[in-house]
């Protein structure tokens, strides 16, 4: 820790003032480094014209309005000045790999009310300096570093844009690469190289930051992913900026053809008629406008819900202080303090030299927020959506804007919220139905070939549905085979031929969510409600069997490690033992799993050690502000020494205390021909659903819709 004198503090403030003047004078203050290290200019005027509902004006509105608001441009500039004045970095600025608000203590946030002073603002910085990882906490009010750790865990922070750019340039400058490209019969101008994380596979890989570079042909298509240069791989030392290993074992494998792989609408052959009836434009109309409001860019109010939303470089979309209004009392009641996607694990099932390391942990290695591209209006998000930008930092400490990376909208897809009908009898007939209108907060992370669509959907009945959808392109492997009949022992293949010379490699996707549940307060318990079969006693009933719901309160972390089992069904409740309904039931929410998958890897396989959060689908831990990321704080090339599994081994008490639920949803993906050249959306969900939380159904008095409420559109006549 470093203590500043009054003179030093005053000097820093003066420097910040001069720096901000220079920042305003700079002709392009919000320059964002793109994937290759070039600069793309985002004009604030153009941005607002394209998206009139964008919520930030970065050059004029610089004041946080809520304790959890993300760091502003001014604060990021202050951080750069503090680091530049820090004794260790006086002569050389560190490379920043992650920056976020170091959130105030939970207790102070919960006590805070609108109009109160904002708690002291702090920042968490993860940087690399002299090949070492530095984790620092900065006090922005006093302009000083208050905490500093070096190499606290085995791994490194997530990659920066500069890392990616440097590695690509090092690979493209390597002479052997040029010779290999020529030998494969392609032009260097069509070469497209992509960086990929290396994972960790033993002590031989420790002591240096390395990255793999794989190359593709983009000749005749933007979908270069379908045209791999199989067997060609370069290993780059990120700190020394040089190639340390070059492998070129696949020259005999042809580069797959690029015909019909370009997925852009403008590239489609419009001379051939579409072999399906066209669909007319469709939109949900809202004659009176949206029903939700956004306060100060981060507080969302809709129907009976209020929550805070923000963008994060690593997590992408973060929901905080989600509260629902009680339909009986009108009071706002706490449901969840904080929820976000904590880690993504994607292992490919191929042991070849140029494939075994493909076991990505996308949040901790690349960042979900950094990978969130601007959403496409009317396609990614419907009309009347509200867009939120992210303010992030480049490795040199300068802020930049990640535009339109989150959208918020109301959804109505013709679904029913509740209904009941009674046939005409006793002189009355009942036909009651209510439409299901929900509020969605959405972000899409584009992580190389895959796009991950994250939806947080809020319902008026108190339910929160979390949905992850996968799209984009499968990662493919080149092969000499064009037909399955050419493949010897094809049944022994772990993957499938999906096009000529193209294999779709079998793989998994696992997404873990951090859910800090606060049901009516922070002191909660986790209850497993097991459905247990009972045999009827002789002569007791014509029935021979039935089942009972038996509750078991988890005392420790070990009690709450859940592997889902179809033949041992259970419900999983987070309850508040101190808050009771009028009937005496503890108020609660239950985690409702959807379609899921479990990891089949060996527990001692290095990728599984690093992603041990997939060992169970549900975990519960006591709240610890330092335990945010299921794969650990430092994931890149980590050994798995700082994971959810490691924390849970402490077997701490979790009864009637502040607890965090961790839920992992998963997909097994066996690619097929329909996944080529682009794959259809596949989705999985889970829900957080009220259980004895309300005294009765909170939407009982919700009004139905009538034809006079909306414009009426009729279908075209059909024979």
8 A C-beta contact, residue 457 and residue 439: yes
8 A C-beta contact, residue 508 and residue 669: yes
Task: Tell me if residue 287 falls in helix, strand or coil.
Answer: coil
Structure tokens at 177: 């690469």
- Return the axis-axis angle of helices 73-85 and 6-25, rounded to nearest 10°: 130
**Cis omega before residue 677 (within 30°)?**
yes
Angstrom distance (rounded) from CA 7 to CA 181: 60
Query: Is 105 an active-site residue?
Result: no
Which candidate, 676, 700, 13, places its Cα nearest to that of 328? 700
Which candidate, 489, 512, 449, 466, places its Cα nearest to that of 671? 449
8 A C-beta contact, residue 666 and residue 614: yes
Query: Is 450 an active-site residue?
Result: yes
H/E element holding 299? strand 299-302
Q: Which of 386, 450, 623, 636 is catalytic?
A: 450
H/E element holding 679? strand 679-691
Question: How many residues can be counted in the chain?
Answer: 719
Cα–Cα distances in Å, from 535 out to 230, 541, 545, 547, 548?
60, 10, 4, 8, 11
Helices (DSSP H) in 26-88: which residue ranges?
44-50, 73-85
Strand residue runs (E) in 59-121: 95-101
Q: Is 62 left (phi over 0), alpha (psi -120 to 50) or beta?
A: alpha
Angstrom distance (rounded) from CA 474 to CA 451: 10
Angstrom distance (rounded) from CA 513 to CA 466: 9
Which candidate, 659, 618, 624, 628, places its Cα nearest to that of 523? 659
Buried b (16+ CB within 10 A) or exposed e, 601-610: beeeebbbbb
Please list the residues that pair with 361 across neighbouring strands.
Answer: 345
Angstrom distance (rounded) from CA 486 to CA 631: 42
Angstrom distance (rounded) from CA 684 to CA 344: 14
Which candidate, 644, 136, 137, places its Cα nearest to that of 361? 644
Angstrom distance (rounded) from CA 204 to CA 27: 47
Angstrom distance (rounded) from CA 523 to CA 509: 33
Q: Which of 362, 645, 658, 675 is catalytic?
A: 362
Lookup result for tokens 């070096």: 150
Chain mean position to CA 207: 29
What positions carry a catalytic annotation? 362, 450
């Amino acid at each position: 820790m470093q203590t500043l004198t009054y003179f030093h503090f005053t000097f820093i403030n003066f420097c910040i003032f001069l720096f901000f003047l220079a920042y305003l004078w700079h002709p392009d203050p919000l320059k964002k480094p793109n994937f290759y290290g070039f600069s793309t200019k985002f004009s604030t005027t153009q941005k607002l014209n394209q998206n009139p509902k964008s919520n930030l004006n970065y050059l004029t509105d610089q004041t946080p309005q809520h304790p959890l608001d993300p760091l502003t441009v001014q604060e990021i500039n202050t951080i750069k000045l503090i680091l530049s004045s820090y004794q260790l970095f006086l002569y050389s600025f560190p490379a920043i790999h992650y920056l976020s608000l170091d959130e105030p203590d939970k207790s102070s946030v919960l006590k805070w009310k609108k109009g109160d002073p904002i708690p002291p603002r702090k920042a968490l910085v993860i940087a690399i300096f002299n090949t070492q990882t530095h984790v620092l906490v900065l006090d922005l009010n006093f302009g000083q570093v208050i905490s500093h750790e070096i190499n606290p865990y085995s791994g490194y922070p997530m990659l920066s844009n500069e890392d990616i750019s440097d590695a690509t340039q090092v690979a493209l400058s390597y002479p052997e690469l040029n010779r290999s490209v020529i030998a494969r019969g392609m032009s260097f101008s069509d070469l497209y190289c992509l960086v990929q994380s290396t994972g960790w596979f033993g002590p031989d890989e420790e002591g240096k930051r390395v990255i793999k570079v794989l190359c593709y042909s983009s000749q005749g298509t933007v979908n270069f992913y379908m045209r791999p240069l199989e067997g060609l791989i370069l290993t780059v030392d990120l700190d020394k900026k040089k190639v340390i290993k070059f492998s070129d074992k696949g020259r005999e494998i042809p580069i797959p053809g690029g015909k019909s792989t370009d997925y852009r609408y403008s590239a489609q052959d419009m001379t051939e008629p579409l072999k399906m009836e066209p669909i007319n434009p469709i939109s949900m109309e809202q004659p009176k406008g949206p029903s939700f409001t956004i306060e100060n860019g981060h507080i969302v109010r809709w129907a009976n819900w209020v929550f805070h939303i923000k963008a994060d470089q690593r997590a992408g979309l973060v929901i905080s202080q989600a509260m629902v209004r009680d339909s009986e009392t009108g009071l706002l009641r706490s449901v969840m303090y904080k929820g976000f996607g904590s880690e993504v694990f994607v292992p490919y099932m191929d042991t070849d030299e140029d494939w075994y390391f493909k076991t990505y942990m996308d949040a901790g290695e690349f960042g979900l927020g950094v990978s969130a591209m601007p959403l496409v209006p009317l396609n990614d998000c419907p009309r009347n959506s509200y867009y939120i930008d992210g303010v992030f930092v480049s490795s040199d400490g300068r802020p930049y804007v990640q535009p339109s990376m989150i959208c918020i909208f109301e959804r109505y897809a013709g679904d029913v919220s509740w209904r009941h009908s009674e046939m005409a009898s006793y002189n009355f007939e009942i036909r009651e139905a209510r439409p299901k209108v929900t509020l969605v907060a959405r972000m899409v992370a584009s992580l190389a070939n895959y796009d991950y669509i994250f939806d947080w959907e809020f319902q008026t009945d108190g339910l929160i549905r979390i949905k992850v959808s996968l799209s984009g392109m499968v990662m493919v492997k080149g092969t000499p085979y064009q037909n399955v009949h050419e493949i010897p022992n094809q049944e022994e293949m772990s993957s499938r031929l999906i096009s000529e010379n193209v294999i779709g490699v079998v793989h998994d996707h696992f997404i873990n969510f951090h859910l800090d549940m606060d049901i009516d307060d922070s002191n909660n318990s986790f209850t497993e409600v097991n459905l247990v079969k009972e045999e009827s006693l002789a002569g007791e009933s014509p029935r021979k069997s039935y089942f009972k719901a038996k509750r078991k309160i988890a005392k420790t972390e070990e009690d709450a490690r859940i592997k889902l089992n179809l033949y041992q069904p259970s419900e999983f409740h987070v309850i508040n033992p101190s808050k009771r309904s009028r009937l005496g039931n503890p108020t609660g929410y239950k985690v409702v799993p959807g379609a899921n998958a479990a990891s089949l890897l060996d527990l001692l396989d290095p990728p599984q050690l690093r992603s041990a959060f997939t060992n169970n689908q549900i975990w519960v831990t006591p709240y610890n502000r330092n335990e945010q990321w299921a794969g650990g704080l430092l994931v890149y090339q980590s050994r798995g020494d700082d994971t959810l599994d490691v924390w849970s081994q402490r077997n701490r008490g979790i009864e009637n205390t502040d607890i965090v639920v961790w839920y992992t949803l998963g997909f097994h993906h066996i690619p097929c021909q329909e996944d080529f050249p682009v794959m259809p959306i596949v989705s999985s969900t889970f829900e957080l659903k009220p259980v004895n939380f309300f005294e009765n159904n909170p939407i009982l008095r919700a009004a139905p819709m009538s034809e006079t409420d909306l414009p009426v559109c009729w279908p075209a006549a059909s024979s």
